[in-house]
Each structure stands twice: as structure tokens, then as C-alpha cells.
Amino acid sequence: VKLFEKVGRVFSDALRFATRRPRRTAALRARADIGTYVNRIISDAVLFNELPSPTEKEEVRCNFILRRLTEFGYTEVAVDEHGNVSVIVPASGESVQYVLVFADIRCEEYSPAESLARLEKERVVGRGIAENSLGVSGLLVLAEYLIKNQIQLGLNLVLLFTSFDPGAQETQPLEHFLRGWAARLAFGVNVRGLGLGRVEERPMGTYKLVVTARTPERQVLGTEPGASAITVLANVAHRLGSIRWDSQNDTFLNVARIQAGVGFGWYAAEGVMELEIFSANRDALEMTRKAVGATIANLAAEAGASAEITVKTFFPTGNAEMNTGLNRALQGIQARLKIKSLPVSLPDHSAVLNSLGLPAVSVGIATGRKSFREEYVDIRPIEAGFRQLFSFLEESTRERAGGHA
Amino acid sequence: VKEESPIIANTFHHSEFADTGKLVEQKERQGVTISLAFPTLNEEATLGKEILVLKTELMDRFPLLNEIAVIDSGSTDRTREVAADNGARVFSSRDILRSHGTYRGKGENLWKSLYVLSGDLIVWIDADISNIGPQFVTGLVGPLLRDTRICYVKAFYERPLRAAGELAPSGGGRVTEILVRPLFSLFYPELAYLIQPLSGEYAGRRSVLERLPFSVGYGVEIGHLIDVYHGFGVGALAQVNMDSRVHRNQSVHALGRMAFGILHTFFHRLETYGGARQLRDLGRMHITVSAVDSRHEVSLTEITAEERPPMVELEEYRKKFGAARPG
């Protein structure tokens, strides 16, 4: 009986999409009112942004997504033991291939006060809103848009809400998900809040490292010799900055932040430095990380200090060649929608798919800013961003479906 | 000590009413309409978000609300523009029922809103909530749709204060704990079971609200509770836990003015219902004295103690809504 119920639910979702008017009419009609979905994207981003994160398997955020998808009318929403929430939107034809469309639901910078978003005339302001919540709400509203307008695309879609623990040493939930799905996927799309118009032409692998230096406590007017944490970190920054990391100049190091000090009258006994290493070459990235670690350890030891290095974020190196077709398609749509294309080299979750031999791109749906002090998204471009996402999926799945036929 | 109270029996959590689709079904089955109104005075910072979220969720996605309106007391910031931009109907309090004059105060806005709103169920929500969500509406209308005996529903919540980029616990409403709860315990112990009797979020049936007098100022909430208690019984009251409401902190002086207005209304109700007799007129001025360097600064603030009559007593209202004059 349970098996029949399950099969029934799967067919129910498929039927919901299948027993309709011709899909092109639905798609054309829907495209006309895509703008009415902008407020839903903003509203969901605001509500989602207020949910605490990180939490164990992001349970609170997963429950929000689960409830939303059920409200939209999806009857077969899957939740796995790693906290991945997914739903399938069946293709219009007989396709056996799927496109993975995913967003990251975890927010490292959530703050109970600063993540309460503020709506201004032209922008939405709040910690986490741009980098994190807008991408999630964009994907949620895409799910709503497809089912409400009865739209089916050339290939099946798997809409996935997953989380990336940037400092995790163990396997990420997305990688767990891909173990069961990679063989059925044609390509992947990472939906992001920021980055409208960006085209990741050279997806760089990235390490963000946190270096904590400690020195013995010393008074400024004391007689004991030794270095302060400030001197140690400044020396490390200076030395690392002068190193050329590979012969092709494909690897870069950036000292993003240095903070140290205890109070007046005392030398700083503890300091923190944040470093980023970027590389378009996977081996060079790993080699550089090891070399940076060794250099820091040596310099700290020479100064009589201790240094502890932790990985704050890791993004694998992507495969630019593999993504060329998708990037061209994305640029074509951007040109048509009058969205200015901006080729960039940035770290990207979609590189995880490249490492499995799958093309993947990131699609940003808004402009805005994330800085140390504030984070916001501009409201006006969201409509174009959402239209871009839908058009990209529609055209690239149609092309692939045609190719396979 | 354990005591039974109808209010405790009518105490809910908003999650009991989280299925918005089900609420819409109940609403349609009962053939009722629901209006949401925000009384405002210079609330541009939070109002836009409140309207956008509630309109998107409870009008566009789920047709639970029939209208969202703002009743403004004469804001000097962009409150009215923000409200209109986000799709609310905007009214200036002074333009409603002009022949009856105008007072400045939240109670005045609520009273006048009854004339311009069309709903059978009315929801009022303060416009300064930083963590707005659909639960502030679904939680309030849920009990009204579920149980026809319930006529008036109040919200309660934790009230962390937003200060210096952090949320800090506030320890509950100060005016409630120091003034209102002791008064209720003395004169209306049944009402002392209300956790936040002064909360600014509540909903009621038009058929009840139109029969209540409205204090135009700070006393509107306490006046309603006592009037509903006397007119419809304590079982007509319910309260709903909204978990948390993030808001601005108010100064002690502002709370003092609020307490003054509440006491005015409370004493007036005691007299009306025979709970106590006033032997002299109450003062109209709230007096504060503060030490500034070596001087003392005295400040007198007039707090309006005006009361609006039950809306159903107005001929214009009866004509518009086909209501009967109270017997």
C-alpha cells in the first residue's frame, strides 16, 4: 500500500505538469507576468533571512523550504539525512536527463539583529540577504513560478536546497546528493543572490585561511625582548605578499584582514589575519596552501610566536573549458535582456559539479553589495535577474533536449 | 496555585494556525471578509517591509486578507508614500468622518478605521515590528475563524529590544507588569491571565468592535478588554503566542505618559461599571520633573482622555454598513 501511495504521489506531481494546455502557450503567458513574482522573491528572502543559521542540518531553514514547496503544490518533496531538500519538475517530453538547479541555504554571518532585513525604497538591507537568502528565495519562487504556470522545460529539473559548510573537513551535503544523481545530470546551475551579469569564465579554486598568532604577554615599558603579534602578522603579510606562487601567474594571495591588540601599555599578544588564496589550477592551489602554511609556521617560530591556521572556506577549482557552452548561452540571454555581462574569475560552488565531469554555472539574480559594514540588494534588477534565470533554463534545456533527440 | 481561567483555555500558539490554506477555506466557508489596518505616525522605517511581506503572503499567495490599509495620524516622514508604494490603501485619519472632528492618537485611528475598512474581521497591527511574518495575522484570525464564541484576540510574545546591533531580553512590558497587572489583579482578576494586555496587535469581529467605545489615546487597549469582558464575557477573549516581536525601546518618560493615559481609561471604566466611584475630577496633565545640572525642569504634557462612542451609534456608519442601532 505504501509503495502504491508513493508511486501515486510521484505521478501526481508529474500529472500536475502534464495535463495542461500546450507548454509554449503557458510559458509565453507566464513570461508576461514574471514581474509579479518579484515581491514574492523579496518577501521570501526577508522571511528566510530571519531564520537562524548555521544550525544542525539547517533544520529550521529546511522546514521553511519544505513548507513552502508543499504550499506551492509539490506533493513529493524529498529531504535526505544530510539536510538536502529537493523536488523534481518533470520535463515536457520523455527526457531521462536532469538539470540540477541549486542554492546554498546556510549563512555563516547570520545575526539575530542584523539579519532582520530593512526594506528601503530601492534596496533590501540585512546581513545575509544578498549573498545567501536572495538566491534561496529566487530558487523557491522559480519552483512556484513553474508549478503555478504549469511550465515544463526540455529536461527534467531537480531543484535542490543544500548547504555548504565552508570550513568542513568532511563531505558536503551537495557531494552526498551528487553521489546518487551525478549520472543522470546534464549540467548544473547555482542560483545566487548577488552577481547579476557575472559570467564565471575562470572559476577559481579558493582557500580562505584564518591565522591566529600568539606571543608572550609583555608590557611596552618592560625590559623583556620579543615580538608582538602585530609585528609577527605584519611580517608574515609582507613576506607572503612578495612571493610569486606559480610560473603562469595563475595563483594569487590576498591579505584580507589583520586584527590584533589588547590595550594600551601592552604589546599585542594575540592577533588574527585572514588570507585568501585563489588559483585556476587545482594542484597549484593545494601546493600554495601548503607553502603558505609552512612559511607562516617558520616566520612565527623565528619570532618566538605560535601560529594556528584554520580553513575558513574552501571552493574547488572549476573547469573553464567544460563550462564554455553554458557561459555562451548565459551571455546570449544577458545580451537579449540588456543585462551587462561581466566576465569574472571568482570562487564558486558550481565547481563541485565540474570535478564530477559536469558543466555548471552560477547565475546571480540581483546587483547589490556585501561589505564588512553592510549587505544589500538592489530591488529594481531582480525582475531582469529572475527572467534571466528562467530564460537560461528554458533555452539551455531545450537545446539539450533537441540535441539528444 | 493553579486556577482555571477561560483565558488560559483560549491561549494558543501561532503555529496552530500556520496552515494558511486551511484558514482561507474556513474564511470562505463562513463567508466572511478580513481587513488588516496599521495605525501609523512616522513609521517609514518598518512599515514598507510589513506591508510587502503580509500582502505578498496573505493576499497574493493566499487570499486570506481582503484589504490592507494604513490609517495615518499626520506623519511627517515618508510613511504614506511607502505604504502606497507597497500596495496598501492609505487614509489620513483627519479625512475620515470629518464632521466628527479629529484627535491625535492610536485609538482615534483604530476607531476611524472601522468606518473605512470593509472586513467582518478586523486585524490591527503596530507598524514598528522589525521581525514581521504572516503569523502576526494568521495567529490572530485563526481563533476567530475556528471558534465563533471568540470575539477578540490579543497577541503576546517575547519582546527583545534591538540596541547596538544586538537583541537583548527586555523582561516583558514594563507598564504591564508595574501598572496593568496589579490593577487587573485588584479589580479584574480574570483579565490578569492576559500575558500582554497592552500588545499592539489584536483582532476582533466587527459586530463586537462597532459596539465598543474607543479611548483615542493610550487607553484604547485596556478599555477594549474591560468592555469586551463586561459586554461579551471573559470567554470571548483569547490570546496567541507569537514567539517574539522585535521593537524599539521606549523611554521611561514615554512609558509614564502611556501609564497616565491607561489610568484615565481604567478609572473611567471603574466608574462606568460600578467598580469604584471617583470623588473628584482626574487631572488632565501628566507632570514630570527632571534635574538638569543644579536646576529642576518641570514639564506638563496634556494627555487626551477623550473617548469615541461605539461606532454603531453613528448614523453614517449604520447607513454604510446596514448596522442596527444598539438596543
The answer to whether residues A379 and A42 touch, using CB atoms and an 8 Å cutoff, is yes
Q: Long-range contacts: B99-103, Cβ < 8 Å, 24+?
A: B100/B314, B103/B216, B103/B217, B103/B304, B103/B306
CA dihedral A193, A194, A199, A202 (to 10 degrees): -100
Question: How sure is the predictor about B26, in pLDDT bands with cuts at 50, 70 and 90?
Answer: very high
The reply to whether residue B45 touches residue A118, judged by beta carbons under 8 angstroms, is: yes
Mutation pick from B17, B20, B54, B57 vs chain A, by most beta carbons of A within 10 Å, is: B57
Interface of A with B (CB under 8 A): 36, 39-40, 42-43, 46-47, 50, 67, 71, 111-114, 116-121
The reply to whether residue B131 touches residue A50, judged by beta carbons under 8 angstroms, is: yes
User: Lowest-confidence range among A190-194, A379-383, B98-102, B294-298?
Assistant: B294-298
pLDDT at A21: 45
Residue pLDDT, tens place only, B294-327:
899 999 998 888 999 999 999 999 999 997 777 6
C-alpha cell at A348: 564558486
pLDDT at A405: 38
pTM score of the predicted model: 0.87
Of B101, B6, B112, B8, give the one whose Cα is nearest residue B69. B112
Smallest CA–CA distance, residue B260 to chain A, in Å, is 32
Q: Which residue of B has its CA nearest to A51?
A: B131
Of B56, B78, B82, the CB nearest to A43: B56
How many C-beta atoms surround the C-beta of residue B89 within 10 A?
15
B45: which chain A residues are within 8 Å (Cβ-Cβ)?
118
What is the pairing mode between strands B11-13 and A251-260? unpaired
Give yes or no for residue A44 having a pLDDT over 70.
yes
Residue pLDDT, tens place only, B196-244:
999 999 999 999 999 999 999 999 999 999 999 999 999 999 999 999 9
Question: How sure is the predictor about B164, in pLDDT bands with cuts at 50, 70 and 90?
Answer: low
User: Average pLDDT, whole number, for chain B?
Assistant: 93
Winning range, highest mean pLDDT, from A218-232, A256-270, B11-25: B11-25
How many C-beta atoms surround the C-beta of residue B98 within 10 A?
8
C-alpha cell at B196: 500582554
The answer to whether residues B305 and B262 touch, using CB atoms and an 8 Å cutoff, is no
Give yes or no for residue B250 having a pLDDT over 90.
no
Say how far apart CA B218 and CA B301 lie, in whole Å.
14
Tell me, letter by letter, the H, E, C secondary structure of chain A. Answer: CHHHHHHHHHHHHHHHHHCCCCHHHHHHHHHHCHHHHHHHHHHHHHHHHCCCCCCHHHHHHHHHHHHHHHHHCCCCCEECCCCCEEEEECCCCCCCCEEEEEEECCCCCCCCCCCCCEECCCEEECCCHHHHHHHHHHHHHHHHHHHHCCCCCCCEEEEEEECCCCCCCCCCHHHHHHHHHHHHEEEEEEEEEECCCEEECCCCEEEEEEEEEECCCCECCCCCCCCCHHHHHHHHHHHHHCCCCCCCCCEEEEEEEEEECCCCCECCCEEEEEEEEEECCHHHHHHHHHHHHHHHHHHHHHCCCEEEEEEEEEECCCCCCCCHHHHHHHHHHHHHCCCCCEEECCCCCCHHHHCCCCCEEEEEEECEEECCCCEEEECCCHHHHHHHHHHHHHHHHHHHHHHHC
Q: What is the ipTM of this complex?
A: 0.90
Residue pLDDT, tens place only, A280-325:
888 899 999 999 999 999 999 999 999 999 988 888 899 989 999 9
Residue pLDDT, tens place only, B134-159:
999 999 999 999 999 999 999 999 88
Give yes or no for residue A23 having a pLDDT over 70.
no
pLDDT at B246: 85
The answer to whether residues A78 and A175 touch, using CB atoms and an 8 Å cutoff, is no
The answer to whether residues A74 and A87 touch, using CB atoms and an 8 Å cutoff, is yes
The reply to whether residue B130 touches residue A112, judged by beta carbons under 8 angstroms, is: no
Say how far apart CA A202 and CA B248 lie, in whole Å.
47
Residues B175-181 have a mean pLDDT of 94
Angstrom distances, CA of residue A267 to CA of A212, A273, A301: 16, 17, 18
Residue pLDDT, tens place only, A49-72:
999 999 988 999 999 999 999 999
Give yes or no for residue A387 having a pLDDT over 60.
yes
Q: Bridge partners of B156?
A: B241
Q: How many CB pairs under 8 A join A and B?
A: 51
Of A39, A42, A116, the CB nearest to B131: A116
Question: How sure is the predictor about A248, in pLDDT bands with cuts at 50, 70 and 90?
Answer: confident
Grid coordinates 510559458 are at which residue? A27
The answer to whether residues B170 and B255 touch, using CB atoms and an 8 Å cutoff, is no
The reply to whether residue A118 touches residue B166, judged by beta carbons under 8 angstroms, is: no
pLDDT at A6: 61
Say how far apart CA A248 and CA A241 lie, in whole Å.
17
The answer to whether residues B213 and B225 touch, using CB atoms and an 8 Å cutoff, is no
What is the pairing mode between strands B237-244 and A118-119? unpaired
pLDDT at A18: 54
**DSSP secondary structure of B48-100:** HHHHHHHHIIIIIISTT-SEEEEEES--SSSHHHHHHHTT-EEEEGGGTTGGG
Give yes or no for residue B81 having a pLDDT over 80.
yes
The reply to whether residue B52 touches residue A43, judged by beta carbons under 8 angstroms, is: yes
Winning range, highest mean pLDDT, from A30-34, A397-401, B277-281: A397-401
Q: Tell me, what DSSP letter sits at residue B117? A: -
The reply to whether residue B165 touches residue A111, judged by beta carbons under 8 angstroms, is: yes
User: Lowest-confidence range among A239-243, A331-335, B31-35?
Assistant: A239-243
The reply to whether residue A118 touches residue B49, judged by beta carbons under 8 angstroms, is: yes
Residue pLDDT, tens place only, A99-136:
999 999 999 889 988 999 999 999 999 999 998 999 99
Helix axis angle, B135-146 relative to B20-30, nearest 10°?
40
The answer to whether residues A390 and A153 touch, using CB atoms and an 8 Å cutoff, is no
